[in-house]
Amino acid sequence: MADLRSLLSNNGFKGVKTYIQSGNVIFERDDDASDSESKAFLEVTIKTHFGFDVPVLVKSVSDLQIIIENNPFSNKEDLESNRIYFVMLFGLPENGLLTSFKKENYPNESWELVDDCLYLSCKNGYGNAKLNNNLVERKLKVGATTRNYRTLMKLLEMGTTN
């Protein structure tokens, strides 16, 4: 993560901060680059420097706030006990795939899709969940990355403080 921070700092990103070892990066850009332009630039920069492809998802602080506000699973105990997850999709799934996915049953797990975030409630924890990031990607044919509530809140905090 230190190498990633350095790489981004040396390539026009300001205030670069990383959180845990899963590629969470907070940054500012001086230019008016869109999220899609930042995504493309990050993917090329990482590929050029490290030599491998990494799917990148760019979310603004306001995007994170909206994701948290739209959470249909707001039981405080579930949030604090790491039973609620946010599966952020890299695009919207096709309607037919989503319709088929809705017909599937995962005991002790429930989900709701709001915009490009699939909110996931895992009564027995994510480690025991059948409905995980890989399954979502496979069933909906769209890339995804999953974070828990604590991580999203920490990223939001990091993005709103200097």
Neighbours of 24 (CB within 10 A): 17
pLDDT of residue 63: 94
Considering 3-12, 26-35, 114-123, the range whose residues carry the highest mean pLDDT is 114-123
> Could you report the per-residue pLDDT of 50-106, keeping only the tens digit for each?
999 999 999 999 999 999 999 999 899 999 888 999 999 999 999 999 999 999 999
pLDDT (tens digit per residue) in 137-155: 999 999 999 999 999 999 9
pTM: 0.91
**Could you give all domains of the chain from N- to C-terminal order, each with its CATH number?**
2-50 (no CATH), 61-160 (3.30.70.1260)
Q: Which amino acid is at 102?
A: K
Q: Using 50, 70 and 90 to split pLDDT, how confident is the model at 131?
A: very high
Q: What is the pLDDT of residues 15-56, one digit of tens each?
A: 999 998 878 999 987 667 888 888 999 999 999 999 999 999
DSSP letters for the chain: -HHHHHHHHTTTEEEEEEETTTTEEEEEESS---HHHHHHHHHHHHHHHHSS--------HHHHHHHHHT-S---HHHHHTT-EEEEEESSPPPHHHHHHHHT---TTEEEEEETTEEEEEETT-GGG-SS-HHHHHHHHTS-EEEEEHHHHHHHHHHHH--
pLDDT score of 30: 66
> How much is the pLDDT for 28?
85
The whole-number pLDDT of residue 134 equals 95
